[in-house]
Structure 1
Amino acid sequence: MLKILGRDNSINVRKVLWLCDELNLTYEREDWGIGFRSAQSPEFLQLNPNGQIPVILDGDLVLW
């Protein structure tokens, strides 16, 4: 299952969510970014060194 990291009021996260819905993909979303967990935290920067959302996790694959 895909995991999407980012807040749902981000237009870029919405684009990813829309695509997943159109393709009937199952996913879970975690809130990251402004007002939630920091995208500048060491944990997040290990996934995306640019510190930007969204990040998509699919097993060992990390897309940003």
Structure 2
Amino acid sequence: MTDQTTADILGAAPQRPPFDAELIPVVKAYAAIMPRWSQESLAAYRQAGPRGCRERNRLI
């Protein structure tokens, strides 16, 4: 067995793509429609199960 690290096996991490300023409106629009989850609301959403999820999504 060789003494290889994960980095040796998988290689270098991929480089980060260049920043694309045209995506800013897309990211802002996505953030605007996503709900702000709190610990309480997330727990209630999970407890509602699939039926509750569909019901909530219908209201959005």
TM-score of the aligned structures, taking structure 1 as reference length? 0.25
Answer 1 or 2: which has greater helix percent.
Answer: 2
Answer 1 or 2: which has greater strand percent.
Answer: 1
Greater RCO (Cα-Cα under 8 Å, separation 6 or more): 1
Tell which structure's C-alpha radius of gyration is larger: 2
TM-score of the aligned structures, taking structure 2 as reference length? 0.26
